[in-house]
């Protein structure tokens, strides 16, 4: 909680809400340790037993007793169908790594494996290459330097990705550290950061597609983790929307790539109607002392000195990453998109 209060004070210094998100994101990037790359083992399934019929049995089928036929048919009906194998490879940052998932279920990667196994009756193997703090260029660097990672990407049936948040925060950090904290200055820095991000993202997506020309790529958007605290402040929302537009436009250059916008779902949390968001904005305006950003008022009205999180989909541990419920929302979006585009499904 002391870090959350520090966000507010940092916000007062730069006089813009952007510093709030940037400070915490940078803190996360520098303190999160990389989760070891892991492979989820496929479920143990019963083998498919097939009864072979000899030519003699076939030629004498007319003489086969009725009771023998009934026994054979009953036996076949109990034979479990062999599940088809699917491999999902996940690339990205902390959202792919699963940071914030208090259930320790591996975030959306673990949940999509369970959903495909249970609902689609598939034998699913996942490989998680998410690393907290990684920008688009750092994900590409890891891919280029790891033959094992390249092999898994090349053999994947489906590829998932989270990217972009740390690229945005890098630009915001550069702006705040250099004293460029006015709206005009920050807008210019973010615009330049977006252009660089578009180039780096295209390089990453092209490298992935060159390794695997067939597997569909399912790419998540980024979201605003502090929306519920500053629902009446639009600057950070504008930057995040702009980055998502760049991601979507860049993705259009890559075949079989499907962009999934989770911005509103995770940013708004349980405030899922216009009426709820209007009431939230009014509350935030009052808490923020009519946009004067009085630090003590913000802390008291918004968090009340507790370690709670106002957004039901985000982790109360860091007020930033999705919690288990938040990852389930990401999983639901991913699952629906995979059902709409089934080229990954084994024939």
Per-residue pLDDT tens digits of the chain, which is 347 residues long: 444 444 444 444 343 444 444 444 444 444 444 444 444 434 333 333 333 333 334 344 444 444 444 544 554 545 556 889 999 999 999 999 999 999 998 999 999 999 999 999 999 999 999 999 999 999 999 999 999 999 999 999 999 999 999 999 888 888 877 777 788 888 899 999 999 999 999 999 999 999 999 999 999 999 999 899 888 888 889 999 999 999 999 999 999 999 999 999 999 999 999 999 999 988 887 766 544 434 444 444 444 434 578 899 999 888 889 999 999 999 999 999 999 999 999 98
Domain that residue 121 falls in: 33-44+81-224+242-267+310-340
Write the pLDDT tens digit of every residue in 296-336. Answer: 444 444 444 345 788 999 998 888 899 999 999 999 999 99
The predicted pLDDT at position 25 comes to 46
28 lies in some domain: no
* Residue 58: inside a domain: no
Burial class (CB in 10 A: 0-12, 13-18, 19+), 343: exposed
pLDDT value of residue 158: 98
Residue 91 lies in a domain: yes
Here the CATH number for the domain that contains residue 162 is: 3.40.50.1110
Assigned token pair, 160:
């998932």
Measured CA angle at 257 (ends 143, 268), to 5 deg: 95
pLDDT of residue 229: 86
DSSP for 28-66, please give it.
HHHHPPPPPPEEEPPPP-PPPP-----HHHHHTGGGS-H
What single string gives the DSSP state of each residue in 258-309?
EEE--HHHHHHTT--SHHHHHHHHHHHHHHTTTTT--HHHHIIIIITTSS--
18 within domain boundaries: no
Tell me how many helices (H) and strands (E) the chain has: 15, 6
Answer whether residue 334 is part of any domain.
yes
Q: Is residue 87 part of a domain?
A: yes
Residue 26 in domain: no
With respect to residue 216, please indicate whether it lies within any of the assigned structural domains: yes
Q: Which two tokens stand for residue 266?
A: 């995770």
Written as six digits, the tokens of 213 are 């020309």
d(CA 75, CA 58): 18
CA distance 107 to 96: 7
Number of domains in the chain: 1
3-state secondary structure of 217: strand
């Amino acid at each position: 909680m002391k870090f959350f209060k520090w966000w507010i004070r940092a916000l007062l210094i730069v006089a813009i809400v952007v510093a709030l998100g940037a400070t915490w994101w940078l803190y996360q990037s520098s303190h999160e340790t990389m989760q070891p790359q892991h492979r989820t083992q496929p479920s143990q399934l019963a083998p498919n037993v097939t009864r072979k019929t000899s030519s003699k049995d076939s030629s004498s089928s007319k003489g086969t007793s009725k009771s023998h036929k009934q026994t054979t048919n009953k036996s076949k009906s109990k034979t479990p169908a062999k599940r088809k194998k699917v491999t999902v490879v996940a690339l990205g940052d902390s959202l792919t790594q699963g940071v914030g998932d208090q259930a320790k279920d591996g975030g959306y990667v673990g949940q999509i494996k369970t959903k495909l196994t249970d609902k689609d009756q598939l034998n699913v193997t996942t490989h998680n290459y998410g690393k907290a703090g990684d920008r688009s260029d750092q994900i590409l660097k890891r891919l280029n330097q790891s033959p094992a990672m390249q092999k898994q990407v090349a053999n994947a049936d489906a590829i998932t990705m989270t990217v972009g948040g740390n690229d945005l925060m890098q630009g915001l950090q550069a702006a705040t550290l250099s004293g460029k904290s006015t709206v005009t200055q920050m807008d210019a820095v973010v615009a330049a950061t977006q252009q660089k991000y578009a180039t780096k993202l295209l390089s990453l997506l092209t490298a992935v597609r060159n390794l695997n020309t067939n597997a569909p790529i399912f790419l998540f958007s980024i979201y605003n983790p502090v929306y519920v605290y500053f629902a009446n402040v639009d600057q950070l929302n504008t930057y995040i929307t702009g980055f998502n537009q760049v991601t979507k436009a860049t993705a259009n250059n890559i075949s079989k790539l499907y962009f999934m916008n989770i911005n509103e779902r995770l940013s708004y949390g349980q405030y899922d109607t216009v009426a709820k968001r209007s009431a939230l904005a009014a509350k935030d305006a009052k808490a923020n002392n009519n946009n004067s950003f009085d630090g003590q008022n913000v802390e008291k009205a918004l968090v009340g000195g507790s370690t709670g999180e106002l957004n039901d989909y985000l982790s109360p541990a860091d007020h930033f990453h999705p919690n288990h419920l938040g990852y389930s929302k990401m999983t639901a979006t991913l699952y629906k998109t995979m059902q709409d585009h089934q080229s990954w499904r084994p024939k």
